Chain A
Amino acid sequence: MKRVLALALISTFVIAACGGGASASPSPAASSAAATTTAPAAPAVKVGLVTDVGGLNDKSFNSLANQGRLDAEKDFKVTTSVTESKKQEDYVPNLTNYAQQSYDLVIGVGFLMTNSVWKVAKQFPNVKFAIIDGAPANDKGDTENLPNVANLFFKEQEAGYLVGVIAATMANDKVGKATHNTLCAMGGIPIPPVDRYIAGYQDAIKTIDPSATILNGYSNDFVDQAKGKEVGLNHISKNCDILFQVAGGSGLGYIKAATEKGVYAIGVDADQADVAPGTVITSALKRVNKAVYDTVKAVQGKAFKAGDNFFSAANDGVGYGKLDPVVPANAKAAADKALADIKSGKITPKDQLQVK
């Protein structure tokens, strides 16, 4: 007992001593909404980012949005801050916190926040909001656009189409381990952004390699890797050679299954080539960072556009990622041609699943 008290006292002294020193050093450039920022002319624009329960280290969605925030902070000299949500109850208070501190732009990262952003945006009409992958939804469950909310949508089907072209070309030519002409995908939860990726993927396969067998599955989770791996092993046992993951953290397990069985995988949202070199042949890119970056730029330039904003191939909002050396030149050429055709409008990838 006495020892605990003694230890506590000593710690207090140590911390008091160090604490004095630490506060003298410059605090990180990012937030501190209490401190006024320098800007002589107009006050610096303040941008807040609220992540969903996936957390900042999901290697895709949230981390991309955060990257966009950091890039914008550097390039536009705005003040930014990020808050991670731990449970769904946290969305409203986290968004409200930034709004109460008169932030200029508050970004909700994800489809889970559509109702929460609607609630808070209605209460703070002078604050601008943005939702990634969603539009505000009222309590009845209906979409209700608001004049201070930008809905940042992506045409995921275009990214899915591009990686589908690569996968189908390899399957057609029986490149490397892709010998069974069977391709598959796994989503997290069957929500529209996930299904759009897979729909584009399936569309490309049916166009280029109509004889291919297509498999589809869901892990029902965006975090649990074990569930993703299980689905992956199941698909591989049915001869699938190329596994396209659309399941965030859970999808990393899907990729693990591919690594274990020596076949190929395709990453999603961010470039996931480094997740499993030699296994991940490419990734379907969703430039969430660009969406965040562009929206901050718009707010700063007073060009904020409420309502639906689309990020697609046309404005480099989607694309395909780094190609593994095993990907042959003709697959890359086909993907580049498809990208050009999508940009010109010649190809419009389907956004509805054909194989459920």
Chain B
Amino acid sequence: MRQPTAQWAQGPLIPVISVLVALLLGALFVLLSGNDPIAAYVALVRGAFGSPYDVTETLVTAIPLTLAGLSVAVAFRTGLFNIGAQGQLLVGALAAGAVGARFGDLPAILLLPMTVAAGVLAGAGYGAIAGWLKATRGVNEVITTIMLNYTVVFVMHWLLQNGPMTARNAFGTPASARIGDGAILPIIIPNELVPLSRLHAGLLLAIVAVVVFWFLLWRTSLGYELRAVGLGPRAAAQAGIDPARRMVLVMAIAGGFAGLAGMIQVSGVFHRVFDGFSAGFGFDAIAVALLGKNSPIGITLAAILFGAFQRGGTIMQSDANISSHLVEIVEAIVLFVIAAETIVRALAKRRGTPAEAL
């Protein structure tokens, strides 16, 4: 059984190279469109890290990405593909928004843990559905999680457009009622230090989640079993581990991480649920998990990198007049190179060990 540190040491070379290659190819695209790649990347870096305010903005995006990345990674570790992080995130957001508003008068000491619990448990329940379908009926979790993503999107339309969670407001866009003050994750950087910062206490929750992820997988017997199932389900079964039950549990845990991400977006950023908000985190999370090699530190760094890309991308548009799509191109190339490495490695394995199936 490999220690997490050894795997990590092998890890960063390929992800780092893939990011560099992606940046180089991205620069090529910038050139081809007649713009200055140096100016583009200078703007990107300055937008992500140039001032304390920029750093806090990068972190605000990195927080839900980290959690969604943990969601995808914990499933990957067991050999499952959680493509449903986006849906689980939204379910967690809805639950948090509902609890935070319904019990809005309660003090923070009660309401905040309730809201966190609502987000995590709702996400966990939603993830468990896909896990259960796989365990009992063998339904591929890729299909179920993708379909469940759509399901929650439509349910959200119903809830927020003249439905049970709709709140009358002048926003001009469907939204739920505002959560109580006790459910809000406060801004943790004082205004005197970094004016206008949006960085909220969700950062602390994310750090705790990363530690929980690490502890769960490498310091508990459950974690050992999950990783064993991921490395070889038949061998694990022979060792007395029941893959089916583990599947439901792991998808629930995955859903819990993503649900927490959704809760944080409601409690820390918007203070209510807007129809269609937080688009894209669940899918970027897959890239984050892959880039971070499903390891706690890797995921955190990859999430910060993607947060930096997205925040820097804004400044790149306004300062260097580069299309917003360049950032997407770079992110896609990163994924491409990572996937290439995975394929190469899988091919090498197959050639090297003919009796792989135990």
Residues of A within 8 A of B (CB): 4, 7-8, 11-12, 15, 18-19, 22-23, 25, 27-28, 30-34, 48, 53, 81-84, 86-90, 92-94, 96-98, 100-101, 111-112, 114-115, 123, 133-135, 137, 139-143, 189-193, 220
Q: In chain B between 2 and 29, which residues have their CB closer than 8 angstroms to a CB of chain A?
A: 17, 20-21, 24-25, 27-28
Nearest CB on B from A220, distance (A): 5
Picked from B21, B60, B170, B320, the residue with its CB within 8 Å of the CB of A32 is B320
Contact A11 B28 (CB under 8 A): yes
Contact B319 A86 (CB under 8 A): no
Please tell me if the beta carbons of B161 and A220 are within 8 angstroms of each other in the complex: yes
Q: List 20 A-B contacts (CB under 8 A).
A: A4-B21, A18-B31, A22-B37, A28-B321, A31-B319, A81-B318, A83-B318, A88-B279, A89-B265, A92-B198, A93-B57, A93-B311, A97-B315, A114-B170, A114-B171, A137-B169, A139-B271, A141-B168, A141-B169, A141-B170
Encoded as 1 (CB less than 8 Å from any A CB) or 0, chain B from 262 to 280 comes to: 0001000111001111111
Given A31-B318, A141-B169, 5 new contacts (CB under 8 A): A32-B321, A92-B198, A111-B171, A114-B170, A141-B178
CA distance A30 to B57 in the complex (A): 25
Report the interface size class on chain B.
Answer: 35 or more
B144 / chain A contacts, CB cutoff of 8 Å:
none
Q: Pick from B157, B170, B174 the residue with the most CB of A within 10 Å.
A: B170
Q: Are B278 and A88 closer than 8 Å at their CB atoms?
A: yes
Is B167's beta carbon under 8 Å from chain A? yes
Chain A residues contacting B161 (CB-CB under 8 Å) are 189-190, 220
- Interface Cβ pair total, 8 Å cutoff: 145
Q: Is the Cβ of A98 less than 8 Å from the Cβ of B318?
A: yes
Which residues of B come within 8 Å of A, CB atoms?
17, 20-21, 24-25, 27-28, 31, 34-39, 53, 57, 60-61, 154, 157, 161-162, 167-175, 178, 196, 198, 265, 269-271, 274-281, 310-311, 314-315, 317-321, 324
**A123 nearest CB neighbor, chain B only:** B196
Name the B residues within 8 Å of A15 (CB-CB): 24, 27-28, 31, 37
A192 touches B37 (CB 8 A): no
- Judge whether B167 and A141 touch: CB under 8 Å: yes
Q: Which residues of B contact A193 (CB under 8 A)?
A: 172
Chain A CB within 10 A, most for which of B37, B196, B320: B196
Collect the chain B residues with CB atoms within 8 Å of residue A87's CB.
Answer: 277-281
